[in-house]
Each structure stands twice: as structure tokens, then as C-alpha cells.
Amino acid sequence: MGLIDFHCHILPGLDDGPEDLQQSLEMARIAVLDGISGIVCTPHLSTSFPGNNRKVILAAVEALRSRLKDEEIELELYPGCEMAIDSDLPEEMAAGELLSLNDNGNAALIEMPVEMVLPDMMMKFFAIMQLKGITPILAHPERNHQLAKNPPILSEWIEAGVLVQITGDSLKGHYGGRIRDFSLKLLNQRMVHFVGTDSHNPHSRRPVLSEARAIVESALGAEEAQKIFYENPAAVLNGKIPNAMPTIPFEKKPGFSFRRIFHFRR
């Protein structure tokens, strides 16, 4: 069983990923050589890319699948997207207007901004999604500055049913030592359920996972690495939510309060 890249911007011309089909094919070849057998295609779904929607992404996945077959590149593609946080998301997802992971309606990859101050309504947002039958999966929360300063926030979200995907390059130190150390801490606290490349091109942000998998295996063992890189992604793609290991919660800092940390712009 190969690795499943849970977060990859491989579809050409849809966002800030590959500019054309040739770059997408090059990314596919790199992924296969690295031991990746499946990629979840996750172009941005946000106001920055207004042309993206469920129909457009599904068509782009099918077109790239066809070219992979023509080029004899053995790589499975699964539809999805990386959704920007928006108060209308749960209703739009429930109405079938947005693309869930593998278009099965049970889970969505939600982009965790890097610089944005976290809104105080995040927990409510997650709860509404869950009431609609959608499990939120946070993309790269290890890169969010507020969470790095106050990791108990993430602990509470996970306890409430939110799942976490971190970026392989974060574990490798690509984004700096602080983010690498926080990523390793999340691993050791059992707060990582998926790892993705978040690859955008075949050059500076390449679709490779083998080194990150080796880091996870060294930290948690081969069995847990297999869950994170194959079993958990496969479960979601098959319409199931994986059973997450009990987390080791971060200790709250003295005076810790959501109201003191979050500043929601109304």
C-alpha cells in the first residue's frame, strides 16, 4: 500500500498551484517515484479563486485522470478542495453546493489561516458543520501563530471532534524550526490524524511524503505512521471517519481564556 497525499494542489490552472498540464504531470511523476499511490486534489475554494466550484473541480479531476492514463502514470486521484473559513460553509455543504472530500459529503478540508486572528466563533462553526453531518479537518494548523502560542485551543477542538492534517514540509523544517518543533509536539500529543504535502508545483513545493513518513515512524512507530499516511485517509475517502487516538492535552496556561485570546471582527 502506497502513501496517500491528503492535501495537494495538483490540478492545473485552478489556483496558485501548477500553471499548466505539464507541471501537473511532472508533479504526478514525482509523487509516484516517492511512493505516493493516491492524491486528494484540493484546490483553494475561496473568494480569491471565484471560478472554483464543485462542478469545475470534478471536471478538472476527471480530465487529469484521463491524461495520467494516457501517460501511463499509475496514480489515483480523488476530488476535494481546501475551503476558506466562511459562516455559510455548513449550509452550502449540506445543500451539496460545495465539494467535500471525495465528494461523499462526510468530511471537509478547512484551511487554517497563518496570519489571521482566530475568531471566537470557531467552536460554534465546527459544531454547526458537525450537525450537518460534516467532520471538519483542519489543514496545516501548525502554521497558525495563535495556535502555536496557545495550543490548548487545538486540544479542545480535537476533543470536540475536529481532525487535524499537518504538512510534511513542516516536519522537515521547511517553514522554520519553531513550526517544526510545534509539529513534532502535535505528533507526540497524538493530535495529528493526516499528513499532506500541500504541494503547489514540481519545484519549490514538491509532492513528496517519504521523508515526513520516516519522521512520523521514528516518533510514533510504524503502525501509527501507517494509520496517518494510509489508513486514516483511506477511511475518509471511503466515507468513514477514522477513530482518533486519545490525545495528550496541552496544559492550559494560567489565565487561559478563549475570550482573551480570540478577537472577532464584527
Determine the pLDDT at residue 253. 59
User: Confidence class of residue 117 from pLDDT cuts 50, 70 and 90?
Assistant: low
Q: Would you say residue 257 has pLDDT above 60?
A: no
What average pLDDT does this structure show over 229-253?
88
Q: Would you say residue 264 has pLDDT above 50?
A: no
Measure the CA–CA gap between 112 and 91, rounded to whole angstroms: 19
Longest alpha-carbon distance in the chain: 60
Q: Distance of CA 165 to CAs 88, 109, 194, 203, 263, Å?
A: 22, 9, 4, 22, 24
Sheet holding 135-139, edge to edge: 44-45, 82-83, 107-111, 135-139, 163-167, 194-196
**Nearest CA-CA partner of 40 in 104, 86, 129, 90:** 104
Cell representation of residue 174: 521547511
> What letter represents residue 84's amino acid?
A
3-261: CATH number: 3.20.20.140
Q: Would you say residue 109 has pLDDT above 70?
A: yes
* Cβ neighbours around 76 below 10 Å, total: 14
Determine the pLDDT at residue 9. 98
Cell representation of residue 14: 485552478
Determine the pLDDT at residue 120. 67
pTM of the model: 0.92
What average pLDDT does this structure show over 8-24?
97
Is the Cα torsion angle 127, 54, 19, 48 positive or negative in sign? negative
Q: Would you say residue 85 has pLDDT above 90?
A: no
Q: What percentage of the chain exceeds 70 in pLDDT? A: 92
**Nearest CA-CA partner of 217 in 192, 243, 241:** 192
What average pLDDT does this structure show over 259-265?
36
Determine the pLDDT at residue 121. 77
Name which of 12-16, 88-92, 119-123, 158-162 the model is least confident about: 119-123
Measure the CA–CA gap between 246 and 100, rounded to whole angstroms: 26
Q: Distance of CA 98 to CAs 23, 101, 177, Å?
A: 26, 10, 36
User: Confidence class of residue 101 from pLDDT cuts 50, 70 and 90?
Assistant: very high
139-193 residue pLDDT tens: 999 999 889 988 998 988 999 999 999 999 999 999 999 999 999 999 999 999 9
Measure the CA–CA gap between 150 and 254, rounded to whole angstroms: 11
Mean predicted lDDT score pLDDT of the chain: 91
39-63 residue pLDDT tens: 999 999 999 999 999 999 999 999 9
Q: What percentage of the chain exceeds 90 in pLDDT? A: 74
Q: Which residue has the cell 460554534?
A: 124
How do the domains of the chain map onto residue ranges?
A: 3-261
179-232 residue pLDDT tens: 999 999 999 999 999 999 999 999 989 999 999 999 999 999 999 999 999 999
Determine the pLDDT at residue 115. 77
Is the Cα torsion angle 198, 87, 108, 122 positive or negative in sign? positive
